[in-house]
Chains A and B, each alone.
Chain A
């Protein structure tokens, strides 16, 4: 069964607003990672949060992890037009298939 599933599938906000994307998964994980993909480009790693961590920050990014709910959220504060991209969560499970499994992604559009 697929691990990470992002919500919403698409999000459109005004520049300067905050954007929140959610990820749910099904099995116990070692870590969860967020990636960004600009149109026509490869994925870029944003942040990795381990199963024993609850929150992590990187610049305007804030990631939370709730292992009891098997969910994570990515918050982008003070959004910019350059943040327009697709955002993927990826999980590394403790058991089962030993591979990084990506969700379908959230398409984020920042309107100027």
Chain B
């Protein structure tokens, strides 16, 4: 099994640009999570999907952030427009089961730098 796949691994962009992060969950997993990790705030859950449906997006910082899951094998997290404070490592994770109580499998992360 290839595990959770994220792309790109690194992204450097200028303030105001649109950024799209991509995630392919483990086949057969029906829950997908987007996290953001920074030194100041630690690991924060941004949004999670169950069976491709967004369940809880209360962690999305503001309207500049949006996430989609058009099918069971693909999800995107978009930031438009990006700001320097969005610089962080963004992780995608997936799990089986219908709730967050199950163990989660993390991807390698996308390191985003907004200049």
A107 vs chain B, min Cβ distance (A): 12
Q: How far is the CA of A44 from the CA of B43 in the complex (A)?
A: 14
Inter-chain residue pair count (beta carbon < 8 A):
45
Whether the Cβ atoms of A103 and B42 lie closer than 8 Å is yes
Whether the Cβ atoms of B106 and A100 lie closer than 8 Å is no
Main DSSP-derived SS at the B contact region = loop
How many residues belonging to A are interface residues under a CB distance threshold of 8 Å?
A: 21
Using A92-B100, A99-B56 as known contacts, say yes or no to A42 and B43 having CB atoms under 8 A apart: no
How many residues belonging to B are interface residues under a CB distance threshold of 8 Å?
A: 20
Q: Which of A41, A98, A100, A105 contacts B104 (CB 8 A)?
A: A100
Decide if A25 is an interface residue (CB 8 Å cutoff): no
Contact surface of B with A, Cβ cutoff 8 Å? 4, 42-43, 45, 48, 56, 58-59, 91, 93, 99-101, 103-109
Contact surface of A with B, Cβ cutoff 8 Å? 30-31, 33, 35, 41-45, 48, 88, 92, 97-105
